[in-house]
A and B are shown apart, each in its own frame.
Chain A
């Protein structure tokens, strides 16, 4: 834990952090789901949050994205200009507007709306401003038509990037599972986030689809997807170790609500504490020796 605290107080020189989580604690009644977890995500990098089931990964996610109000701790989001926003305790929609987009462990699309409509709902905030908050658009008096055309073009670019262009006018609920997963990522990206949080994006995908997903995430990180030009930092929870080790720049390991490891994929893979957490506890002596 000492290492983590030093990390939070003064980030090492040369690390450009987008997200800093400081001593985050989440308590549900008597259950301590997350216990003083501190970690940071670098700008323009993919940071993976891994751990066995029940380690508290999704709870950390829900705290970052405003679905839970953390019991204690701080969550800081730094934009490219150096401005710092405290996310803890803000309502979910304000966090989304600050530039944090997320997907869900069980996809949460709007099943009765088409893929295109799903992506337009994601652009609600800028579109709503363009309508003059509804009134101008009803009267047909605003810059809304142009804003909507731009929004449709952006949606088209993301549908293309996720291979869904030919399904654009199909209801999201009728898409195959893998396509729904990709559509959810496209929808999150349409909110123009600076940090994309993905909760188990590869769950339920076949190996080929996981491969495509990895390529998509790398393209999003580097700003090559959908002609965006701007990179996007990614924080992801994932159980598929193949995907994690292939694309992550940094891996944070949680177990029983505590951070047990933090480093590059190679470092984490070799960490005996991580191996113990995944394969079952070894003897006390073994762990001490390590």
Chain B
């Protein structure tokens, strides 16, 4: 233990003492008599200061032992096993996602009687997670593939939700007709946003997209005659199963009545679950396919080097706009689903924090990685629920987890890029250090 390290640790302890003495050491409490009194907790302060001292020493010792980091473009030793695990994880996650609602019912299979294991809560949580998986995959097209930093993605989610809400309540159109319309309208707004920001890069692009998200929200709040303002739009029709409603009456026009089963409120939840699962998988399928197409390759090339793209005859304007439009379209689909699930939309659901969460999912998952984004959505949205018991400490845990991931895996969970095509047929991962992050 060098004296320098001891001195450094002592300094840390001093700072900790200065901080914790007023924060922890002195606490006002209500006395039994009713008045306030100052409770002194110096033993707690001593423990915290000692912890800070020890932690600083440990950190210095660890740093001292560590060799200088060697720059390398080769993937780390953990990449290969992780990749194999990842190849296994994708089908596993999909199987769990598909089978989850079946657990909501009890099955009587002759000899076996399987009780219901998942309840309404798990299914609702599953729907929420899948919505964010879908939004993450949609934003991944814009941010992960095309490298355009979009901080206002929630605007397209809002456009989709309000499109469905307005079309369904004013014209009584069915969900299946409104769903593509909501997507098209969101894509249209994506292009509208895309045009003015074509020349912007990096921070400037982020600021304008951020402003765009806020403009849409403020518009929704203030255009009271159309959107109902802060009161939102209620009474949005629920989706139907090929025209069959999920009414509990069990009549001939209902799902339960048609199939001759006992009406159960969980039918609708299960239907909604499979609906969002299908939409999310559609998003995934389209992005995976597009990535192997010239358009997807042009997006990735744009992220790597815009000037080189121009020299190769790629129309940058069109390529950027398609990325904005297709990403926005999936946001619109998710929005329409959100509206039909909640049966109520209001501007409160489309605040900046939503954009930030979706972007965090994409960045944590590893930009451009489909499975990474899905896992990140599960961890972030599921983790939020898991730590609900921690109450106000929840945000602290969340923040600490973010910091930990950014320190340990600065390029996200899946940092490497898989080539879209090979000559040898063996796809070797490309280290994230070589892959561009986009300039805006």
Contact = CB atoms under 8 A, between A and B. Distances in A.
A124 B424 contact: no
Contact of A138 (B286, B298, B316): B286
Contacts of B315: 93
A92 B428 contact: no
Interface string B397-440: 00000000000000000000101111110111011001110000
A174 B73 contact: yes
Interface in A117-150: 117, 120-125, 127-128, 131, 134, 137-138, 144, 148
Given A110-B304, A113-B304, A169-B428, A101 B311 contact: yes
A156 interface: yes
Nearest to B296: A134
Given A111-B436, A114-B421, A171-B430, 14 more contacts: A108-B305, A108-B307, A109-B305, A110-B436, A112-B300, A112-B430, A116-B423, A125-B313, A131-B295, A137-B289, A148-B421, A152-B421, A159-B423, A169-B423
Contacts of A66: 310
Contacts of B424: 168-169
Contacts of A233: none
A114 B295 contact: no
Interface of A: 65-67, 91-94, 96-97, 101-102, 104, 108-114, 116-117, 120-125, 127-128, 131, 134, 137-138, 144, 148, 152, 156, 159, 165, 168-169, 171, 173-174, 187-188, 191
A91 B304 CA distance: 20
Contacts of B310: 66-67, 91-93, 96
Interface of B: 73, 286, 289-290, 293-295, 297-298, 300-301, 304-305, 307-316, 322, 417, 419-424, 426-428, 430-431, 434-436
Contacts of B311: 65, 67, 92, 96, 101-102, 104, 108, 188
Nearest to B431: A171
A143 B322 CA distance: 22
Which 6 pairs, one residue from A and one from B, show the smallest C-beta to C-beta distance?
A112-B435, A96-B313, A110-B304, A173-B434, A92-B310, A127-B294
A101 B419 CA distance: 25
B423 A152 contact: yes
A124 B423 contact: no
Please indicate which of the listed interface residues A109, A127, A169 has the most CB atoms of chain B within 10 Å of its own CB. Answer: A169
A229 B202 CA distance: 44
Contacts of B301: 110, 113, 121, 124
